[in-house]
Amino acid sequence: MKTINQNYINGEFKKINSTESLTLKNPTTEENIAQIYLSTPPEMNEAIECAAHAFESFSKTSIDERMNILQRIHDELLQQEDILIDLAVLEFGATIMTTKRRTKNAINLFLTIKEELKHYDFVKKDADSITIKEGVGVIGVIIPWNANLAHLCSNIAPAIALGCTLVIKPSEFNALETEAFLECLHRANVPKGVVNVVHGTGDVVGNVLTKHPLVNAISFIGSTKTGKIIFENSAKTIKRMTLELGGKSPTILLEDANLQEVIPHVLSSAYSNSGQACHAGSRLLVPQSKLAEVERLLIEHINRLKIGDPKDKETQIGPMINLTQFNTVQSYIKSGIDDGAKLLCGGLGKVEGFDKGYFVKPTVFICHNQTLKIVQEEIFGPVLCVLPYESEQEALVMANNTIFGLSAYVFSNNETKALEFAKQIRSGRVLINTSSSKAKHPPFGGMKQSGLGRMGGRYSMDAFCEIKSILF
């Protein structure tokens, strides 16, 4: 069992000054894999002061210098790609195929941002004015456990590009991958104090980060519930905010959708990351007249899904990250049953044949009542709610009947019609006739209670800027 007992502060690994620790288990086998020590507020304060001090010089570095740093981090990460993948599979239980794709994208982001930096409009001159974009300062980053490396990279790359410095509070549950990432960062010779990482819990060190006056901006990725606490805490010092929060995204099958072709997309969205994905299409809206056929196809396809060891490249659904998450999903399944939703497949308990590991049965409910808890709340597990509709007008109202607005999926044989429908959905993105887009770094973020601001490629750079006018 590995011990994680050091933070990364001011370019050095520093021993955590606490006896409080957490044991991480392999979600596939339930074996103990790591003990992680939890930092104290003074350690977070030290990291913030170092980041503030480093900003004074780092904000003045040249674009070339920062492009070199981005390249060096990319190169170091690339050398450790396989190790990073193995650790994510080990501690999170994400399937190897998903993890490989995601790791590659995360590492490549340093090159994308390097390219953006070359052309970024830092200065715009007019006759009587100059508009300057400059780094926002010290950015406090707080991230969840469901795509650790992607979240680390998607914040560090744009922050470095803008000459900002960071203090990161990663999730307690990804300490092994974070440690391997930090070793790469250290070898990449990133200037001291530019990236600081403090392990610990949200209510202790995360709380300090969101309230500290030397922190200029917060980039938070996590649940809407925590996002609201962070928003409130950060308001006291008017921090710039990017909030990437939860979702309950609708997948809408319009009347003319080809059901045979569409169902694999429906499932790959709903059960993405074993259901632990913010953008999961967890509400499926189907024409009432097609409900019986959709039910039949869902069962047929779900019976073919490969559930099991995430290391196996055939596996499509792995375990929940930990027992807490397993129990949360179970309680939602129980509430669906108690509230009278029709259980089409799956249900309570572990997947048959899996005594060990936090494997939830891929579950589908047919729901005729939109107010049910399972229809309205984010479950973050492989649970799909099917909602029949009578008309496409009703489907639109149902799609928007949520506090969330992160993502949506529309399927139709008529792309023009799908586009018109997509424009009326209140969410940060809508995918048409696919569950995964090949678009290069489109803006990502949510409407309504799914968040604030946009990240992704150059949009992340914009999020980490202040704009100054100089007038003549």
Residue span binding ligand NAD (CB under 6 A) among the ranges 126-134, 190-198, 222-230, 351-359? 222-230
CB of 19 to ligand NAD, least distance (A): 19
- Does 95 interact with ligand NAD (rule: CB under 6 A)? no
Instruction: Give strand pairing partners of 387.
Output: 285
What is the pattern of x (binds ligand NAD, CB under 6 A) and - over residues 388-417? ------------------x-----------
**Nearest one of 75, 69, 231 to 162, comparing CA atoms:** 69
Catalytic member of 244, 367, 378, 465 = 244
- Does 210 interact with ligand NAD (rule: CB under 6 A)? yes
Which residues have a Cβ under 8 Å from the Cβ of 219 and sit 6 or more positions away?
139, 140, 141, 142, 155, 242, 455, 463, 464
- Does 202 interact with ligand NAD (rule: CB under 6 A)? yes
Nearer to ligand NAD, 232 or 300 (CB): 232
Q: Among residue numbers 297 through 336, which ones bind ligand NAD (CB under 6 A)?
A: none
Size of the site for ligand NAD (CB under 6 A): 31
Query: What is the rounded radius of gyration, in angstroms, for the C-alpha atoms of the chain?
Result: 23
Residue span binding ligand NAD (CB under 6 A) among the ranges 39-47, 175-183, 242-250, 349-357? 242-250
Nearer to ligand NAD, 366 or 406 (CB): 406
The answer to whether 50 is a known catalytic residue is no
CB of 145 to ligand NAD, least distance (A): 5
- Does 207 interact with ligand NAD (rule: CB under 6 A)? yes
Residue 227 is encoded by which pair of tokens? 């996002």
- Does 246 interact with ligand NAD (rule: CB under 6 A)? yes
Which residues have a Cβ under 8 Å from the Cβ of 62 and sit 6 or more positions away?
none
CB of 235 to ligand NAD, least distance (A): 13
CB of 363 to ligand NAD, least distance (A): 18
Task: Using CB positions, name the residue nearest to ligand NAD.
Answer: 202
Q: Among residue numbers 155 through 194, which ones bind ligand NAD (CB under 6 A)?
A: 169, 171-172
Nearer to ligand NAD, 193 or 453 (CB): 453
Nearer to ligand NAD, 273 or 363 (CB): 273
**Single residue of 99, 226, 282, 363 touching ligand NAD by CB under 6 A:** 226
- Does 451 interact with ligand NAD (rule: CB under 6 A)? yes
CB of 60 to ligand NAD, least distance (A): 31
Residue span binding ligand NAD (CB under 6 A) among the ranges 76-84, 190-198, 245-253, 331-339? 245-253
One-letter amino acid identity for 171? S
CB of 323 to ligand NAD, least distance (A): 14
Q: Among residue numbers 273 through 292, which ones bind ligand NAD (CB under 6 A)?
A: 278
Q: What is the 3-state secondary structure (H, E, C) of the chain?
A: CEEECEEEECCEEEECCCCCEEEEECCCCCCEEEEEECCCHHHHHHHHHHHHHHHHHHCCCCHHHHHHHHHHHHHHHHHCHHHHHHHHHHHHCCCHHHHHHHHHHHHHHHHHHHHHHHHCCCEEECCCEEEEEEECCEEEEECCCCCHHHHHHHHHHHHHHCCCEEEEECCHHHHHHHHHHHHHHHHCCCCCCCEEECCCCHHHHHHHHHHCCCCCEEEEECCHHHHHHHHHHHHCCCCEEEEECCCCCEEEECCCCCHHHHHHHHHHHHCHHHHCCCCCCCEEEEEHHHHHHHHHHHHHHHHHCCECCCCCCCCCECCCCCHHHHHHHHHHHHHHHHCCCEEEECCCCECCCCCCCCCECCEEEECCCCCCHHHHCCCCCCEEEEEEECCHHHHHHHHCCCCCCCCCEEECCCHHHHHHHHHCCCCCCCEECCCCCCCCCCCECCCHHHEECCECCHHHHHHCEEEEEEEC
- Does 378 interact with ligand NAD (rule: CB under 6 A)? yes
Q: Among residue numbers 247 through 276, which ones bind ligand NAD (CB under 6 A)?
A: 247
The answer to whether 244 is a known catalytic residue is yes
CB of 407 to ligand NAD, least distance (A): 9
Catalytic member of 50, 153, 184, 278 = 278
- Does 22 interact with ligand NAD (rule: CB under 6 A)? no
Distance CA(68)–CA(191), nearest Å, equals: 12
Q: Among residue numbers 130 through 149, which ones bind ligand NAD (CB under 6 A)?
A: 142-147
CB of 240 to ligand NAD, least distance (A): 16
Residues that bind ligand NAD (CB under 6 A): 142-147, 169, 171-172, 201-203, 206-207, 210, 221-223, 226, 229-230, 244-247, 278, 378, 380, 406, 446, 451
Active site members: 244, 278
